[in-house]
Amino acid sequence: MNYTGPKVRLSRKINVMLTPKAKKVTANGKNYAPGQHGPSKKRSKLSDYGKQLLEKQRLRLQYNVNEKKLSSYYKEASRLTGNTGELLVQLLETRLDALIYRAGFSRTLYAAKQLISHGHIFVNGKKLDISSYKVKLQDTVSVKPKSRTNDNIQESLRNTVAPPYMEVNKADFAFKLLYAPLLNEVPIQCEVPLVVEYYSR
């Protein structure tokens, strides 16, 4: 199951800010572990396995996919020719929900999933409500015309700078994927080689 609990608590646990609210809370001084003992509790030194597990959790939660799905993405990446870590991130990053978020149509990945499931997103002119859809090169992804007046979408789009592997047309509320993203271009916080080590044990 995908995570549906408090995002701020989760963000502080894995030390990755998953939402704007989590960034705000941390900026206000709560840069320690969650819970009543958080301020006084020292983070224990992790074993090699613990580091691998933490990085796997960070990657999984930044894309809000469950363990089974992430494992299947790793298996697919390991069958392809090339760097397994980079291919794994490419598979995750080219999901429809991830690209909706990167393009600036939503403030969070969770909001992107909601836009898709509620029928606000079109791919090549057809409504698509599958968050895990793999966006192909030169696919045109757009917001439904009636939804373009949504204040949240407009504000998010104004304040977002898309990564170089995307071409975003803010006037038309649309974008295209130009090429498969390179690992160093994807804005995630994760030591991907440790995730590969975790799954290749």
**Model confidence over 8-58: pLDDT tens digits?**
777 777 777 776 666 666 655 555 555 555 555 555 688 999 999 999 999
- The whole-number pLDDT of residue 16 equals 75
- The whole-number pLDDT of residue 126 equals 96
Asked if 61 and 16 touch (Cβ cutoff 8 Å), the reply is: yes
Comparing 4 with 171, which gets the higher pLDDT?
171
CA distance readout (Å), 194 to 5, 45, 201 = 26, 16, 11
- Give tens-digit pLDDT for 77-131: 999 999 999 999 999 999 999 999 999 999 999 999 999 999 999 999 999 999 9
Residue 90 burial (CB count, 10 A) = 21
In a domain, 62, yes or no: yes
DSSP states of the chain: ----S-HHHHHHHHT---SHHHHHHHHTT--S-SSTTTTTPPPPPPPHHHHHHHHHHHHHHHTT--HHHHHHHHHHHHHSSS-HHHHHHHHHHTBHHHHHHHHTSSSSHHHHHHHHHTT-EEETTEE---TT-BPPTT-EEEE-GGGTT-HHHHHHHHT----TTEEEETTTTEEEE-SPPPGGGS-----HHHHHHHHT-
- The whole-number pLDDT of residue 136 equals 97
The pTM is what? 0.84
- Residues 66 and 108 reside in one and the same domain: no
Check which CATH number belongs to the domain holding 62 and give it.
1.10.1050.10
- Residues 14 and 47 reside in one and the same domain: yes
- Residues 84 and 143 reside in one and the same domain: no
- Residues 144 and 164 reside in one and the same domain: yes
Total domains present in the chain: 2
**Domain containing 123: what range?**
95-179
In a domain, 1, yes or no: no
Check which CATH number belongs to the domain holding 153 and give it.
3.10.290.10
- The whole-number pLDDT of residue 199 equals 96
3 — pLDDT class (breaks 50, 70, 90): low
Residue 30 burial (CB count, 10 A) = 15
Dig out the tokens for 43 from the structure: 């983070």
- Residues 107 and 140 reside in one and the same domain: yes
- Residues 36 and 15 reside in one and the same domain: yes
- The whole-number pLDDT of residue 43 equals 58
